[in-house]
Structure formats: C-alpha cells, structure tokens
Structure 1
Amino acid sequence: MAPTDTTLPDLALSRSSLDRVALERRRPEVLTELLDDPRTRVAEVRGDRMRVAAADDDVLHLVLRAPEPEDHTRLGLHLGRDGEGTAYVGVVTQWDDPEPGGDGPDPADDGWLTLRQAGEALATRDAGVFTTALALANWHGTHRFCPRCGAPTQPTQAGWVRRCEREGSEHYPRTDPAVIMSVVDPDGRLLLGRGAHWPEGRFSVLAGFVEPGESFEAAVAREVAEEVGVAVDGARYLGNQPWPFPSSVMIGFEATTRQTELTIDPVEMAEARWVSREEYRDLLRSGAIRTPSGISIAKRIIEHWLGQTVESVIEPGDSMRPGTARAL
C-alpha cells in the first residue's frame, strides 16, 4: 500500500530514526560488547515506563545513560544505531517502589512516564526507542516458556529471539495486526461507537483484530458488519502505527457505506451513533464526548474526517499537532 495524499503523516508511534542493524544481532557477543562500551546509550524500561525530561525545544526526550555493570544481568535489547554509529540498548528492570496509588512516591514525579503519557510529545528518535523497547519487553514477559514443549526459553540474538532450552526451537516477537476505520455515510456523517466496557462519553471509530487468512480490507468489512450491522462499500488505506499495548500494529482505513440503520452487537458495543461534523464539534465543546488519546491513530482518523484538530475545536486558533510537550 503506497502512501497517497490522503495518508496520515507523523503518527505519534510510527516515528523512528534508528537503523535496526538486524545482521549485527546475530553475533552472540554483541550485547556484552555494547554494554562494555561507555559510548553506548542505555534506555531503561521499568515496568511500562521510561524516564523522560523536557528540553529547551519544548519536546520530551528520553533520559539515556551509559551502561552500568548490573546491565549485564538484565534483559538486554539491541535497538539499533543512529546516523553517527552510536548504539542504543534497552534494558528491562522492575520497580523497587510501590506503584502510583500505593504508599511510595509516584514514579511520574521523577520523570518516569508510560508511553501513553509521553509518546505524543517525544522526539522522533525517542518515540521509536520507547515503542520498540516496550513492545519487546512485553513479548519477553509473556513468552518465557516454549509453546511447543513447555520448557523454559532464553533470550538470544540481542533480545530479538527466544530459544527453547530443551529442543532448541526459536521463537520470534509477536505482532497482532488490527484494523481501525472511519465509516462515513452518504451525508458525510461519521460512525462512532462506545465499547461495552467504556465509560459514558468515550467514543471512537471502530476497530478489530485481523483474523487468519483475512486481508486488511476484508477485516474492515467484517468488523463493521459484526459490530453495527452495516455493510461498507470499500476501504481506503490511511496509515499504520505500532501499538505495543501489548503487541499490536494498527492499520487505519476510511470506509463508506450507503446504510445508516445500525444493529449493535451488545457484547462488543454499548452504543453507536452517527454524527455530522458540526454535531461532533458541539459535543467536543460541551464536554459530552471524549476523543481518543493523542498517541492513538484513532484520534488522527477522526481529525482527518473532521478537517481540523480536536484542539482547534476546543480552543479556537490552536492548531497544535503531536510533538510538543503541551500535548500531554
């Protein structure tokens, strides 16, 4: 699917500038060498958080450090090299202090933020580092045992493969594709849905996982038919972004339909509704509807249909796009 004039640029989690140097990962000693090199930049993942700081350019940057001896005992992830050849390694640790809401300090007070909190305002390189490191950390956390025989697996190839200790089979990071789509009727109205377990006022465009043997376009048609009983006429590609919560990639589309009568699946949907652009603006201004988060492609798909940013509706004259710390 080639980019077109209608594709969505600069999606928050699709930004990356590192060369992943896949061939370099094959050397068994590569992580040891990198963690012995003080020039290596280490990006520490604690739980689902990384440490960030704001710079003079009003953009968030990851707080990177030199390797320390303890990194050799931690899960290491060779994330790639920048244009100057500097290597970036993710290391995965856990929290020593209680989580927010417990008896200890809130990690956010010391700059430790989740990707949902920081992703929209991160610099390009750091958005790619955080997204990749989190996706790999999530995969390692749930694939410690071989799916073929149940024996323990160990990380290899610089954190990009796990190998079964018993039979030697290799297992690779999993990414689950999901489609997400606007559906527009002949009057230009957008279809919005509220998930069965979502709070009042939270609406988004429809989405769902791609099934085995299914194309992306077929998944769009099936998901819309299943969730709201509407047949779409076709689907046009808009863009895609990784979504490491825990291991997806979201493929965005815009679809049209001539049907407007909705038959809602109560298992999946609490409610669904058609809205015109003016109705959506009024709902935003009144606070009666909440838009998806800034890092989500869902928000960008809605803005693509709306013809302006959500922020410029709520605060006229504000055309803010992802990439500034104020967007958090």
Structure 2
Amino acid sequence: MRLARFRHEGREHTGAVEGDTIRPLDADMRTIIEGGVPGRAGAPIPLREVRLLAPVRPASLRDFVAFEEHVEGVRRSIDGSGGVPEAWYDAPTFYFTNPHRIFGPDDEVPFPARSVNRDFELEVAAIAGAGESIFGYTILNDWSARDLQKREMQVNLGPAKGKDFASSIGPWIVTADELDPFRDGEGFLDLWCHVTVNGVEVGRDLLSNMGWTFETMLAYAARDSVVRPGDLLGSGTVGNGGCLAELWGRNGEQNPPPLKDGDVVTLTVEGIGSLTNRVTSAPPTDDLPRVRRRDAARARAERQH
C-alpha cells in the first residue's frame, strides 16, 4: 500500500494512493503507523488535483552512512583523506538532523545564502513502526551545504549548519510488505536508485549495496535508547554518484558542478517512486559577533583575585 499526506481544496488529508487517484482515510499518518490502516473515508480524488506533502512529520530523523563507496569518496572531498575509517565497520553510524525542516514533493528547497558548494544526497528512509518493526519506506534527500560542512566538521563534532536547513521526503510511504519481493537472500532490498539534475542522470546504484539492513540499523538505533513509531532512519547516500561530493572526491575537481538556484533534482527509487525539488536560496544572514578568546591561565588568576 502507498500512503500519502496531501492538500485538497485547502485542507490537509491522509490517503491511500490507488493508481492515479488517492482515497482519503479516516486517520492521520501517525495514527496509521501506530495502529494500522483504517477504513476509507471518502471517494477517490485524481492525483492531479491534489498537492502531495511530506508523507510524515517525524519526531526524529536519524541519518545513517551505510555505503562504503560514499564514505570513501566524500572523505576525500571534505578533508582530503582517503579510504574508509576502521570504526565504520564496527557499527552502523548515524547522526541526528532537523525534523522541523522537512520538505515534501515539488517543494522549493532554500539553501543557506552563504553556501556555494550545494549538494543533494540520494537515500531511502525507513519509517519505524510499532514494536521496533519497520512500517514502510520513502525517498529521502539529505541536502548538504558542503562548504559549511567542511568548516564545522573540523571541530570533530559532526555536521550542523551544513545539514540542518533541509531534508526532503516523499512522494509517499510504501508499506514494508510491498517491497518484500525485492529482498535478496540476506534481507537487503535490491532496488535501483538514481538521481538526475535538470533531467541529466548523475548517479545510479543498488540499495542492496548497503553494509547493514534497515532492520539492523533500527535495532542499533533502539539500543540503550528509544525509537518511536513514525521516526525516520535514513540509509545514507548510495554510491556511484549518489551525491556530488563523492564525485568531486574521485574526480579531483568540482565536476559535475555544485547545485545552483533553479536546478531541479529528481531522486527515483524502484518500487517507491520519484521525489523532485527545486533549489533556491534562503535570505542572506548577518555576520556573527566575533568570538571571545580566553587565556585559561589568565582567567584562573583573575578569579583567584
């Protein structure tokens, strides 16, 4: 089943996609994820007459980094190092990004005005269900301001303003049972994923090239912690051109070039669908105040007096 949030005649609804129509359901998406799909609540509406929205409003978004090829290429682009850190092989690493800046299908995505090295990231996200199960899957674009990311990660804390301005998900949620026919013998989803910029293909890879299954990543996320129904878990960016930074690292130059205002990025995943967004710029921001530098020894001496 394909489940979507949509706007029709000024009101927001949740519905089941049936061919080229969508039929309203008598529950919101969080209730459906927690308790199951209710009965239909209205007549089907042609998809062309509705505006699809981000299919879920998650309380949290954990984004993993499950593809070796992506790690190797992006490390070379961001900090000039090569290879994959040994720690990567120990466990499925993730970071938390901003659940309050999630965009949906056909939304314009505003990059920080200060960023010029703008990038997409082609991913699939699992939606956590009840009892630490996987309810379904959607497409995820983990937009990245690589110049901001490169500077701030020198502090060894992780991405911040290079990431938290936007993520896109959609066009809908495909329930987990719908993708069972694509599972290989090890439990990975054998789905082709590809990305185009202004209609030109940039990258293509199989989702089954992940190092861990979504089930393993969910179990690891829940270890000594809490995962709630509706939380998102991103696969991390696929290899073979799943983002521009990987290609910059391999090519030794920014080829293809960074994204610019007006560029249209489309992510397509077999068995799920396509997610399209247009790149724009947010309003310019003011400069920060100068940092206060402190001499630790002098500060201690002043406190003693």
Give the TM-score of the pair, scaled to structure 1.
0.25
Higher strand share: 2
Structure of higher CA gyration radius: 1
Q: Which has the higher contact order (CA 8 A, sep 6+)?
A: 2
**TM-score, normalised with respect to structure 2:** 0.26
